[in-house]
Amino acid sequence: MRKMTEENLKAAFAGESQAHMKYRIFADIAAQENKPNLSRLFLAISDAERVHATNHFRVLNMIKESSSNIQSCIDGENYEIDEMYPAFNDVAKLQKETEAERSTHAAWEAEKIHSVMYQKAKQAVDAGKDADVKDIFICQVCGYTTEGSVPDKCPICGVPREKFKKF
């Protein structure tokens, strides 16, 4: 693939991915505002944006077998842990942006857990097995991730266990 086309598809993938997430967030807001039809509209178009992103990702040859996909996840999580969030958090502290500091700190801590979970899953997949994953619970305030059971309070942000979503 020629470089300009590749860069265009990468930019399109990023834009479609962001639109997908933005519209999902907007759907949640509309649902909270008791606007179910607007929420459904956001969800439907969000799914179309996901399809576009998937098509671009496929054309870029970024869809691989599970072991490679997991390694890509591990690499991304480790970049966020080692480089991105430490720098972002330091800047937020320096600029006294407490909400940004809290947001980047929470994400940084959760990414550490994600990396470990992906590494465990990769070991299983590389051994020819499916990942051994218990119930996964995500704090809907900060993104803290735990497997098996829910703590009484989130260890990152302190919200009660009722704020966790089960997967």
DSSP helix/strand/coil, 108: helix
Residue 5: per-residue pLDDT: 97
Residue 93: per-residue pLDDT: 98
**Which parts of the chain register pLDDT below 50?**
none
Residue 164: per-residue pLDDT: 98
Q: Contact, 157 vs 164, CB < 8 A? A: no
One-character DSSP codes across 32-75: HTT-HHHHHHHHHHHHHHHHHHHHHHHHTT----HHHHHHHHHH
Residue 25: per-residue pLDDT: 98
Residue 123: per-residue pLDDT: 98
Residue 71: per-residue pLDDT: 98
Strand-pair partners of 147:
136
Half-sphere exposure (Cβ direction) of 103: Cα atoms closer than 13 Å: 8
The Cα 69–Cα 73 span in angstroms is 6
Residue 53: per-residue pLDDT: 98
Residue 151: per-residue pLDDT: 97
Cα–Cα–Cα angle for 16, 21, 25, nearest 5°? 145
